[in-house]
Chains A and B, each alone.
Chain A
Amino acid sequence: MAEVGKIRIKLPQSIKKGEVIPVRALIIHPMETGLRKDKDGKPIPAYYINDVKVYYGDELITSMEWTIAVSADPFMTFYVKADKAAPLKIVYKDNKGGIFEESVQINPQ
């Protein structure tokens, strides 16, 4: 699989001002629960994203707490009211201190 922490954010092709648009975000991450064991019987250490924050411009518009219950390569959809031209930034943090972020520009017409 592709390397850990690769992010892809998808926006609708045309955005009108004031419209509520779906934002789709995908990140490559193993989301290891810590409950599994490898072939030798040793537990595989937990490795998962536990904190997600979404910024629209400077404003924090939503944040999520994820646990081991979220699947590998998490994919999420949320809705944003596109009322200004600003970058939309998503920051993922995992329990080993990794920080992955990606931003896209929203340009409503």
Chain B
Amino acid sequence: MSRGTLSRLIMFLLIACVISVIAPQNSVAEEIKEYTPNVSPEEYEKRYNKAFGEFTKKMAEEGNPADMLLDEGKELFHKVDGTQGRSCASCHGQNGEKLKGAATTYPKYDPGLKGIKTFAMQINICREKHMGAKPLKYDSPEQLALEIYTKSLSNGMPINVSIDGPARPFYEAGKKFYYTRMGQWNFSCALCHIKYAGHMLRVNLLSVNRNHADHWPSYRLEWAGTGSLQKRIQGCVKNMRAKTSELHSEEYRNVELYLTHQSNGLPIQVPGLRM
């Protein structure tokens, strides 16, 4: 074997090594390896009832503290605010007649934002554009009251979120966030809520992600207060000991789109009550 062919052989082997090291990493980064769900939603329901009974359901019907905010939201809806002398009811009709079913298609793509628009953002956009009023701070009692009332007008109607067309890349980004391992504990959302859903994590039963987006804003016993899905996502990320973003930041909006799409076809039940 001559020196030329040997060096060529070594070069080839080196390049082959480099390619074999780089290539699988690239394919992992591009493709999401989906988990198969551990339990069906029906099986999860059974386990939940066995572990905790039906007290949250009963409480949601009989004594949900978020119902107080619902009444406040109705007042706010009819209250005139801002420079243009209008209330929500001046455009959307008394008792929000024209808003029935409006919440079913949110979150959705908005060309102005070049991103996903959540229902809470739409309320603030309406207030600024059409009422000349100040936008409400996210997850403040007033904002939650208004959101609960306007969303509750669509109660019982099936969620119908579109992920076609311009919303597609944001849906993919949300899904990627859902599957990305992060934080000190190296968890991903999907790990708990798809792969290990239905297992006990200390005293908590890991929930199936099918019913995650149909009842927000909800009263949570753990918070002893009412909050939005955005706050819940932020709390989840914090529990993974990862760095949190602000409410309604781009990545959380994308996850909200992904999660709401998982609940497509389920009726909206606002306000909810959860542990």
Contacts and interface: CB of A to CB of B under 8 A. Distances in A.
A19 B68 CA distance: 29
B50 to A, nearest CB: 23
A8 B67 contact: yes
Contacts of A26: 63, 65, 67-68
Interface stretch (B41-49, B161-169, B218-226): B218-226
A69 interface: no
B68 A6 contact: yes
A63 interface: no
Interface in B160-187: none
Given A2-B68, A2-B72, A2-B141, A10 B62 contact: yes
Q: Is the interface of B mostly helix, strand, loop or mixed?
A: helix
Contact of A73 (B62, B72, B224): B224
Interface in A1-51: 1-2, 6, 8, 10, 24-26, 28, 30
A24 B68 contact: no
Interface in B46-71: 59, 62-63, 65, 67-69
Interface size, A (range): 10 to 19
Given A8-B67, A28-B68, A71-B221, A1 B141 contact: yes
Given A6-B68, A8-B68, A71-B221, A24 B141 contact: no
A106 interface: no
A28 B226 CA distance: 12
Contacts of A52: none
A75 B224 CA distance: 12
A10 B141 CA distance: 23
Interface residues of B, number: 14
B136 to A, nearest CB: 15
A71 B62 CA distance: 17
A30 B65 CA distance: 12
A17 B273 CA distance: 34
A72 interface: yes
Nearest to A77: B62
Contacts of A6: 68
Contacts of B62: 10, 24, 75, 77
A77 B62 CA distance: 10
Interface string A45-70: 00000000000000000000000000
A10 B221 contact: no
A7 B183 CA distance: 42
A1 B221 contact: no
B59 A1 contact: no
A8 B63 CA distance: 8
Contacts of B224: 1, 30, 71-73
Contacts of B145: 2
Contacts of A77: 62
Nearest to A27: B65
Closest 3 CB pairs of A and B: A72-B224, A75-B63, A2-B68
Interface of B: 59, 62-63, 65, 67-69, 72, 141, 145, 221, 224-226
